[in-house]
Structure formats: C-alpha cells, structure tokens
C-alpha cells in the first residue's frame, strides 16, 4: 500500500520578502536626515496656520471669476484634442514598427525603441519650456510638447500589447505568402486597434491635465491664467480653476470608460 507524499514546497517563497526588505531599507535610508532627503513634518507643524488659511480660501471659490476662465479652458481642451489626434496618427504605424511580431528586423525595431526611450525620458514641461523659447508663447509649443509626450506613451503601450497577442494568425499569414506589410494591415492592425483606442483615450485624459501645467511656462491654456492668479495670491480664483479642471477630467473619464466598455 503506497503512502501519500506531500507536494514539495514551491521554491522562491523568500523572494517577495527579500524585495519587501530591500524596499524598506531604501525607504529608511531615503528618509534619514544624514543620507536621504531629511523628510519630516516639522515644516507642516510650524506653518499649519498658514496652510489652514490657504485651505479656507481654496474652499471659497470666486464664482464671479468664471467668465474669465472660459476662453483659457476652451484653449486647453483644444490643445488636448489636437495633440491627442496628431499623436495617435503618428503612433499607430510606429507601434507596429516597434513590436517584435510586426517588425522582425531587430535593428530598425531597436533604433525606434531607443529613440522613443529618449523622447519619454524628457519631461513634457521641459519640452514646453524649450519650445516656448523657440516658437514663442502660445498654444503651439504646448501642442508640440504634448504630441511628443503622447507618441512616447502610446507607442510603448500599444507595441507591448501587440507582442502580448497570439502570434498564430501572423505566422499563418506568412505561411500563406503574405508580405509583412499585408500581414500588419490585415491582421495585426485589427488585433491592436482595441489597445490603441484604449491608450489614446487614456492619453486624452492626461493631456487635459498636462496642458494646464504647460501653461505655467507660457505654453497656452489655463496654465497662463493659473500663473496670473497665483502671482496675486488669489486662491479663491485658483480653487475655481481647479474645480473646472476636475469636472472636465471626470466627464472625459466617464465618456472614455463608456467607450472602453463597448470595446470589450
């Protein structure tokens, strides 16, 4: 009569604990006064009255300021939509170029990925600062900065989604004698479209937020108005702008979520 043997314990159970320990050590070193950033709540404790006063002002929006915010808000939305459209048009073919399944040539694929890594490594605010100095104050440098930001994100996400798909249909297309361009257009593009639409909608949400910040360096939109009211310490007017941005982002998020559910 055979005896039942217990299954062996899975190996590597210590790895999550090791990772947690490493994170805790790094966090402790980072927060230490000698080796880290010397983070503490002393500044908040010392200036709590000043902070409480600003919070009270932020909780009292100046509704009479609303008409002045409409043109910059419209410009912000225009910047976000235009940048999203241009970035999506550029990103779709580049996503096929950056994926291993749709571009077997590792040299061209590697060159594109290296270039996009460089594009993503530069913050969009820095792009806007340089472009403002090149083309002047206004919406144009903000749109260009957002396009660069969009291309870096969309291509990375969509190309990874393409590589996660089943390679069987693509191999069947090659076996049938199709060229890589024909296979990408007939098979890969259809499979990648849901991920592409999903990432484009996500980037649109990011653009609305980012375009308000880019205006702080002169790249148009609500950021110019935010900088003006902040300069005069009008936190009541600033709170109204923040509330408008919040409402716009929530509406875009609701519409995007409805479109995503239809794609599933």
pLDDT per position as a tens digit, 128-179: 888 888 888 778 888 888 899 899 888 888 888 887 776 677 667 777 776 6
| Range 106-121 average pLDDT | 87
Query: H/E/C letters for each residue in the chain?
Result: CCCCCCCCCCCCCCHHHHHHHHHHHHHHHHHCCCCCCCCCCHHHHHCHHHHHHHHHHHCCCCHHHHHHHHHHHHHHHHHHHHHHHHHHHHHHHHHHHHCCCCCCCHHHHHHHHHHHHHHHHCCHHHHHHHHHHHHCCCHHHHHHHHHHHHHHHHHHHHHHHHHHCCCHHHHHHHHCCCCHHHHHHHHHHHHHHHHHHHHHHHHHHHHHHHHHHHHHHCCCCHHHHHHHHHHCCCHHHHHHHHHHHHHHHHHHHHHHHHHHHHHC
pLDDT of residue 58: 76
User: CA 196 to CA 161: how far, in whole Å?
Assistant: 9
Domain 70-263, CATH: 1.10.3720.10
Query: Residues 189-215, buried b or exposed e (16+ Cβ, 10 A)?
Result: bebbeebbbbbbbbbbbbbbebbbbbb
Query: Residues 73-101, buried b or exposed e (16+ Cβ, 10 A)?
Result: bebbbebbebbbebbbebbbebbbbbbeb
Q: What percent of the chain has a predicted confidence (pLDDT) above 90?
A: 4
| Range 119-132 average pLDDT | 85
Q: What percent of the chain has a predicted confidence (pLDDT) above 70?
A: 83
For 214-224, how does the pLDDT look when each residue is reduced to its tens digit (9 = 90+)?
A: 877 777 778 88
pLDDT of residue 34: 67
């Amino acid at each position: 009569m055979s005896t039942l043997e217990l299954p062996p314990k899975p190996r590597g159970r210590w790895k999550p604990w090791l990772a947690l320990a490493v994170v805790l050590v790094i966090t402790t070193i980072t927060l230490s006064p000698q080796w880290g950033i010397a983070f503490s709540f002393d500044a908040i404790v010392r200036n709590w009255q000043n902070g409480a006063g600003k919070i009270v002002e932020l909780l009292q929006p100046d509704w009479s300021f609303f008409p002045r915010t409409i043109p910059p808000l419209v410009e912000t939305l225009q910047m976000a939509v235009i940048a999203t459209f241009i970035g999506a048009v550029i990103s779709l073919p580049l996503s096929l170029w950056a994926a291993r399944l749709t571009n077997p040539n590792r040299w061209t694929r590697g060159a594109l990925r290296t270039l996009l890594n460089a594009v993503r490594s530069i913050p969009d605010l820095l792009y806007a600062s340089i472009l403002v100095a090149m083309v002047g104050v206004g919406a144009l440098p903000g749109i260009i900065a957002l396009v660069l930001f969009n291309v870096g994100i969309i291509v990375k996400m969509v190309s990874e989604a393409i590589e996660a798909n089943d390679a069987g249909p693509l191999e069947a297309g090659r076996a049938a004698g199709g060229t890589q361009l024909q296979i990408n257009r007939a098979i890969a593009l259809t499979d990648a479209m849901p991920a592409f639409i999903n990432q484009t909608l996500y980037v649109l949400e990011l653009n609305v937020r980012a375009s308000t910040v880019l205006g702080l360096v002169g790249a148009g939109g609500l950021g110019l108005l935010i900088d003006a009211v902040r300069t005069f310490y009008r936190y009541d007017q600033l709170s109204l702008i923040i509330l408008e941005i919040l409402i716009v982002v929530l509406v875009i998020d609701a519409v995007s979520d409805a479109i995503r559910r239809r794609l599933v």
